[in-house]
Amino acid sequence: MSSAPLTVVFDLDGTLVESAPDLVEALNVVMAAEGCPPIPMAEVRGMMGAGARALVERGLAAAERTPAKERVGELYALFLEHYEAHIADRSHVFPGVDAALDRLDASGAKLAVCTNKLERFAVKLMGELGIASRFGAIVGGDTYGVAKPDAAPLLGAIAQVGGDPARAVMIGDSGTDVAAAKAAGVPCVVLSFGYTAVPPRELGGDVVIDHFDELEGALARLGLA
Ligand SMILES: O=C(O)COP(=O)(O)O
Ligand SMILES: [Mg+2]
């Protein structure tokens, strides 16, 4: 096995951060603007992973609304405006994140984030939660002009921290993360408590874990630790 340092790339929403409460709030501002009832949190959790614009479109589709493209653009702008102002009102890191990052750091791993959030929103959220400085790179869905499941943002995140894709792993919660990892030729650990419409164990990840305390065990199973 190579002794090059391991690069660990984390997804953000539903992986490092329980961001659903603030995302649901912003989505329901949009729904109200369209005269639709709010969508319950449990349902919204299955709509995330492909970025905020997809979330707005999926919310509207769930209410059987098909506004003209221009109106969808307005509603997306409304979502962003509300979400930016309330991005960390109720969002918080998942249990065990800080300790897991400490352990990875101590092991010499390079740490990065690859999210489908807009980069500036990811930086803002992580800054407000006090975790931005723990990562050598924060790549958003707009950083490289293509979002996950494309391999480019994941490979970009690995490159930004000077990592080697042959010694890297993606940690995520959705099919988007698994697909991006496969496209990049990188193994994927799936966390079971995130946001996905498909059961986590059916996403096709290499290992599924239920808590960050199990992360090193998962990396060992992949031959990476
Ligand atoms: O919010 C989303 O839809 C995507 O965000 P994620 O890539 O960090 O999960
Ligand atoms: Mg996610």
Please answer whether residues 31 and 58 qualify as being in contact, where contact means their C-beta atoms are separated by less than 8 angstroms: no
Are domains 7-18+91-221 and 20-85 of this chain identical in fold?
no
E strand or H helix at 137:
strand 137-139
Q: Checking DSSP bridges between strand 188-191 and strand 207-209, what pairing results, if any? A: parallel
Which CATH class for the 7-18+91-221 domain? alpha beta
Rounded to the nearest integer, the mean pLDDT of the chain is 96
Q: Where are the domains of the chain?
A: 7-18+91-221, 20-85
Q: Candidates 24, 48, 114: which one to mutate for ligand 1, based on the most atoms within 8 Å of Cβ?
A: 48
Range 20-85 classified under CATH 1.10.150.240: yes
How far apart are the CA of 115 and the centre of ligand 1, in A?
Answer: 5
ipTM: 0.94
CA-CA distance, 177 to 142, in Å (whole number)?
16
The per-residue pLDDT for range 86-126, each reduced to its tens digit, is: 999 999 999 999 999 999 999 999 999 999 999 999 999 99
11 is catalytic: yes
How far apart are the CA of 174 and the centre of ligand 2, in A?
Answer: 6
Q: At a CB cut-off of 8 Å and minimum separation 6, what does 175 contact?
A: 49, 149, 196, 198, 203, 204
pTM of the predicted model, to two decimals? 0.96
